[in-house]
Homo-oligomer: A and B are copies of this chain.
């Protein structure tokens, strides 16, 4: 009988795919454990292009109003347009150049991308929305030799009402996960998160942050994969704890209205600035419903709305206009 294969000998892309599928099951089961409804799975393929995914969606629960945990695994040939769009954000995307024209040669550039992305909007205005995404990307030549690769991702929290202990727990557990690999990572990824989730025209961050990184290839891929797994493992213990604290708190119609206004800001960020959403909506063959799964069930816009000075609503804006250090 052959010995079981050491999973560490599989290509990184296969290990990452296995990891995100395992985490999709773990996370959806974890979230279901505190709700009265179950996730519903939708599997889709990319049509003429390679790959597909599974969207796990929860809607109209007692705890969760709307949420999705989406796994996608896609591969094929990179189009020149996709390369140009991606090069702006990914300095690692180095491609062979045509010596005559100086332009990147995309014929025969194959790519593989896989990732888990999720957004969860709870019912209770005191329970925060969360977003998590970890992804892996690589390109290689026609002959199978690798060209470039990177990891990206992060997790962050978007409350409508600020609870110090929630922000501290979420940041602390993610810091602990990164500290196992390098204590320089958390401060860097925390700052990156505050900068990425910034709604320029509102001069405020989307939420109270977390961690974010992209184009990450600074360590051995096997070690980065372990780091991603550790970050994944920080998520449920923090987010489940937070939602359990908040999901049965009483709330008023006014608090619900404030939640809808904050979700309007969430929509503004995702539709105007989020690079994944922008890129997805402009990519032929991508699945719009999976991309826009991140949008809340209810969002609201009131003209020139400003919370009363000193109110709990105003307290939240203090943190979104001036990011805070959550852990020492």
Distance (whole angstroms) from the CB of A321 to the closest CB of chain B:
14
Which A residues from 86 to 123 make CB contacts under 8 A with B? none
Find residues 254-309 in chain A having any chain B CB closer than 8 Å to their own CB: 260, 264, 267-268, 271-272, 281-282, 288-289, 292-293, 295-304
Whether A267 lies near B271 (C-beta < 8 A) is yes
Shortest Cβ distance from A288 into B: residue: B201
Cβ–Cβ contact B295 & A264, under 8 A: yes
Whether a CB of chain B sits under 8 angstroms from the CB of A31 is no
Within 8 A of B (CB), among A167-216: 200-202
Task: Decide if B272 touches A281 in the complex (CB within 8 Å).
Answer: yes
Q: How far is it, in angstroms, between the C-alpha of A68 and the C-alpha of B304 when the chains are bound?
A: 12
Closest to A281 in B: B201
Task: Report yes or no: B298 in contact with A302, Cβ–Cβ below 8 A.
Answer: no
A45 sits at the interface (CB 8 A)? no
CA distance A260 to B295 in the complex (A): 13
Instruction: Identify the closest chain B residue to A67 (Cβ).
Output: B303
Q: A325: CB under 8 A from chain B?
A: no
Contact residues on A (Cβ < 8 Å of other chain), bracket: 20 to 34
A201 partner residues in chain B, CB cutoff 8 A: 281-282, 288
A223 contacts the other chain (Cβ, under 8 Å)? no
Residues in B whose Cβ lies below 8 Å from that of A293: 303
Residues of B within 8 A of A289 (CB): 303-304
**How many Å lie between the Cα of A89 and that of B4 in the bound state?**
61
**Which residues does chain B contribute within 8 Å of A282, judged by CB atoms?**
201
Closest B residue by C-beta to A261: B297
The answer to whether A228 has its CB under 8 Å from any CB of chain B is no
Partner of A202, one of B59, B68, B288: B288
In the bound complex, CA of A303 to CA of B40 (Å): 11
**B300 pairs with A59, CB closer than 8 A:** no
Is A292 a contact of B288 with CB atoms below 8 Å? no
Nearest B residue to A57 by beta-carbon distance? B303
Decide: A300 near B297, CB < 8 A? Known: A201-B281, A288-B202.
yes
Closest to A283 in B: B201
Which of B57, B68, B298, B302 is close to A300, meaning CB atoms less than 8 Å apart?
Answer: B298
CB distance from A163 to the nearest CB of B (A): 26
**Which of B42, B260, B298, B300 makes the CB contact (< 8 A) with A304?**
B42
Not counting A57-B304, A201-B282, A299-B299, a sample of 13 additional A-B residue pairs whose C-beta atoms are within 8 angstroms of each other reads: A42-B304, A57-B303, A66-B301, A66-B303, A202-B288, A267-B267, A272-B272, A272-B281, A297-B301, A298-B298, A298-B299, A298-B300, A299-B300
Pairs of residues from A and B, 6 with the lowest C-beta to C-beta distance, nearest first: A295-B301, A271-B271, A201-B281, A289-B304, A57-B303, A299-B299
